């Protein structure tokens, strides 16, 4: 790996000595731009872009000619943070890069620089990649005159891209030129122009777009039809109805779809007529379109259609459309469908019954839930949850069944019955037969109960975590203490705990700090990981001070578990000499779920010593380490970095 290998050897033999001296990471990353390994060069351009040091500008400009396209692309993107006029000519040249990603990145950066010198070249670049239109919009309204002129460009790709850019900018000066461009000889350009015109609230544009329903090209007509129902024009309904008779089937389907999405009650009668179409596709889709309407005449049509059509998928769509509250006949029809021999019909009927919210269906749904013929229980659970408190007792029975408890607890809470939360809190304190077994005490075998009694304080198991997730989502603080106990108990599920505790923000800061000296190193790591999840914006000055003091004390004490848990804090802190400790933390906790992310963060944080530690971790595991994500920058500062990474 060239320079990186040499430096890695030095790190392994005298890491501590290196850390004592001030490391000029900017200069070292500039040197690494000459490394033979493109991954090393890629990481170097990432780091230089993040540091935003003026010394990096010329090396990054030189990297626009790197033989590796990923290096060139990231170099082009990294230059957007400097805003230096001398960047413009090399970036203009990069617009012609043979790699589309590189030229697009150069275009975006030029758009951010907003230097008018780049506008002609960016317009010309539209011929090669359509993303240029988006980058041109970053220039703002200063680009409009040149864009209008380019509507007459000889290349249709340029003209189409210009229309797209003008649609985004929405400058009123573009309306008249776009109206003229509607007669462009190229159909693709006309499609772009139609879309652009529809974005302006101008009576002239509405007239022109409406007229394009007669365009000789079917693809243009199809685009127009899709736009009509969004234009809030009283003439749109008649135009859509006429388009259902277009000679091209794709236009017809788009017109029917637009009518179905319009919400206009006048569309119901034509859609009912469409059920008699000779086109099977139109008949099938008409069911879906009618489902959007809650008109009285739709229900009997859907019921009749369900009974009469042989096509299963269309029949299921009709059944799905019957989820309409307030109609007893519909509920009775759907309850009967729960006994159908087709499991798909039973599942769909259950879903539709949930939408009716008719409590008369609770008994039938509960029977379907426990029926061995229904392997997929979720539609029945969901439907019962929609029934509210009327279904509470039925769902509670499922919670008290060791086989169904994990799946049932969430739906019990979804009934919004006030008793549900109390039941879930009690569930958190129910001993379990083992770390991964769902059997509840008193509801499992005798052997399971004996094991549970021996572990009276163990609060693990799939049902426990299902209840904990619901309570955490409800921000019920009664879940904190049981989760902390679970955090301290070795079992396969405790890795979930930090993500559940994070929602409580300030309430968990001091309890997590108290665990920094726990005898179990995994408990310490997970406590620090929980702390890392707490949003910076939710902490007051006093809690931030306590957190910072505890984390810095852990660094001085070489508490590697804490360093591994909240490694991002130490990276953005950027304390001189801490690289060795962080590298040791990665090595100590190299098999945790977060280890790879930790190594990748080290790769792209900008510090060469941590970068080498990340590479070493990957080589030991035969991983091809790549800079998949970045944003945690060495020495950036805790306040700013925490706020950015936790958004």
3 state SS of 593: coil
Q: How confident is the model at residue 630 (pLDDT cuts 50, 70, 90)?
A: low
376 — alpha (psi -120 to 50), left (phi > 0) or beta? beta
Q: How far is CA 71 from the centre of its chain?
A: 26
d(CA 177, CA 277): 42
- pLDDT exceeds 50 at position 275: yes
pTM, rounded to two decimals: 0.75
Q: State the residue for tokens 């769909």.
A: 348
Give the pLDDT score at 441.
35
CA atoms in the 13 A half-sphere facing the CB of 529: 24
The residues near 262 (Cβ < 8 Å, ≥ 6 apart) are 229, 236, 237, 240
The residues near 534 (Cβ < 8 Å, ≥ 6 apart) are 502, 505, 506, 508, 509
| Per-residue pLDDT reduced to its tens digit, 67-101 | 999 999 999 999 999 989 999 999 999 999 999 89
Q: How confident is the model at residue 517 (pLDDT cuts 50, 70, 90)?
A: very high
Mean per-residue pLDDT over the chain, rounded: 86
| Per-residue pLDDT reduced to its tens digit, 500-516 | 999 999 999 999 999 99
Q: How confident is the model at residue 19 (pLDDT cuts 50, 70, 90)?
A: very low
Give the pLDDT score at 207.
87
CB distance 629 to 645 below 8 Å: no
- pLDDT exceeds 80 at position 335: yes
Q: At what angle do helices 405-414 and 419-428 cross, to 10 degrees?
A: 150
| Per-residue pLDDT reduced to its tens digit, 533-545 | 998 889 999 999 9
| Per-residue pLDDT reduced to its tens digit, 359-394 | 999 999 999 999 999 999 999 999 999 999 999 999
Instruction: Name the range with the highest mean pLDDT among 19-23, 240-244, 460-464.
Output: 240-244
Q: Measuring CA to CA, how many Å separate 116 from each of 92, 128, 138, 536, 576? A: 12, 20, 11, 40, 43
d(CA 292, CA 295): 9
> Whose CA is closest to 433, among 449, 409, 445, 413?
449
d(CA 432, CA 119): 68
Give the pLDDT score at 317.
82
CB distance 334 to 304 below 8 Å: no
Which pair of tokens denotes residue 335?
A: 């309850």
- pLDDT exceeds 90 at position 627: no
User: For 117, phi and psi rounded to 5 degrees?
Assistant: -60, -25
- pLDDT exceeds 50 at position 450: no
Comparison of pLDDT for 156 and 4, the residue scoring more: 156
- pLDDT exceeds 70 at position 11: no
Give the pLDDT score at 120.
93
d(CA 45, CA 606): 9
Q: How confident is the model at residue 431 (pLDDT cuts 50, 70, 90)?
A: low
Average pLDDT over residues 289-297: 77
Any idea what DSSP says for residue 440?
B
Give the pLDDT score at 78.
94
| Per-residue pLDDT reduced to its tens digit, 336-354 | 999 999 999 999 999 999 9
Average pLDDT over residues 481-497: 88
The long-range contacts involving 250-253, CB below 8 angstroms and separated by at least 24 positions, are: 250/218, 250/222, 251/218, 251/221, 251/222, 251/225, 252/279, 252/282, 253/281, 253/282, 253/285
């Amino acid at each position: 790996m060239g320079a990186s290998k040499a430096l890695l050897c030095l790190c392994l033999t005298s890491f501590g000595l290196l850390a004592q001296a001030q490391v000029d990471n900017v200069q070292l990353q500039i040197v690494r731009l000459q490394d033979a390994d493109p991954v090393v060069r890629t990481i170097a351009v990432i780091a230089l872009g993040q540091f935003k040091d003026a010394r990096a500008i010329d090396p990054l400009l030189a990297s626009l000619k790197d033989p590796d396209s990923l290096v060139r692309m990231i170099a082009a993107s990294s230059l957007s943070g400097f805003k230096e006029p001398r960047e413009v000519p090399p970036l203009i040249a990069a617009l012609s890069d043979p790699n589309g990603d590189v030229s697009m990145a150069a275009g975006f950066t030029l758009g951010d620089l907003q230097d008018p010198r780049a506008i002609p070249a960016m317009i010309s670049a539209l011929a090669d990649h359509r993303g240029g239109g988006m980058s041109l919009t970053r220039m703002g309204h200063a680009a409009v005159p040149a864009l209008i002129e380019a509507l007459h460009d000889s290349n249709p790709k340029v003209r189409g891209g210009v229309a797209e850019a003008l649609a985004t900018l929405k400058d009123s000066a573009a309306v008249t030129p776009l109206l003229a461009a509607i007669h462009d000889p190229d159909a693709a350009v006309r499609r772009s122009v139609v879309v652009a015109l529809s974005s302006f609230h101008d009576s002239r544009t509405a007239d022109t777009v409406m007229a394009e329903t007669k365009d000789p090209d079917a693809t243009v007509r199809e685009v127009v039809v899709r736009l009509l129902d969004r234009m809030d024009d009283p003439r749109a309904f008649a135009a859509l109805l006429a388009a259902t008779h277009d000679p091209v089937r794709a236009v017809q389907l788009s017109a029917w779809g637009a009518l179905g999405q319009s919400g206009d009650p006048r569309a119901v009668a034509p859609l009912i007529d469409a059920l008699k179409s000779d086109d099977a596709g139109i008949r099938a889709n008409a069911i879906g379109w009618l489902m959007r309407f809650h008109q009285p005449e739709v229900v009997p049509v859907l019921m009749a259609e369900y009974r009469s059509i042989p096509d299963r998928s269309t029949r299921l769509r009709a059944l799905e459309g019957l989820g309409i509250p307030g109609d007893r006949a519909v509920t009775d029809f759907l309850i009967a469908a729960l006994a159908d021999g087709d499991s798909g019909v039973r599942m769909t009927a259950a879903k539709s019954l949930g939408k009716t919210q008719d409590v008369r269906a609770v008994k039938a749904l509960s029977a379907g839930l426990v029926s061995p013929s229904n392997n997929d229980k979720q539609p029945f659970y969901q439907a019962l949850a929609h029934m509210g408190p009327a279904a509470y007792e039925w769902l509670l029975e499922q919670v008290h069944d060791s086989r169904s408890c994990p799946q049932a607890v969430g739906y019990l809470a979804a009934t919004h019955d006030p008793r549900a939360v109390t039941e879930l809190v009690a569930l958190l304190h129910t001993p379990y037969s083992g770390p991964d077994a769902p059997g509840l005490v008193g509801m499992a075998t005798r052997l399971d109960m004996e094991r549970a009694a021996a572990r009276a304080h163990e609060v693990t198991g799939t049902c426990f975590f299902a209840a904990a997730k619901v309570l955490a989502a409800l921000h019920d603080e009664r879940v904190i203490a049981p989760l902390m106990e679970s955090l301290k108990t070795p079992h396969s599920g405790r890795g979930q705990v930090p993500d559940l505790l994070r929602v409580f923000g300030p309430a968990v800061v001091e309890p997590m700090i108290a665990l920094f000296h726990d005898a179990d190193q995994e408990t310490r790591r997970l406590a620090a990981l929980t702390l890392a999840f707490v949003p910076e914006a939710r902490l007051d000055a006093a809690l931030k001070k306590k957190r910072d003091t505890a984390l810095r004390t852990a660094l001085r004490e070489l508490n590697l578990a804490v360093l591994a848990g909240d490694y991002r804090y130490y990276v953005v802190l950027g304390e001189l000499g801490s690289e060795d400790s962080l590298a040791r933390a990665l090595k100590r906790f190299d098999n945790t779920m977060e280890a790879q992310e930790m190594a990748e963060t080290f790769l792209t944080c900008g510090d060469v010593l941590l970068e080498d530690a990340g590479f070493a971790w990957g080589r030991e595991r035969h991983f091809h380490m790549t800079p998949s994500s970045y944003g945690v920058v060495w020495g950036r500062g805790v306040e700013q970095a925490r706020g950015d990474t936790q958004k």
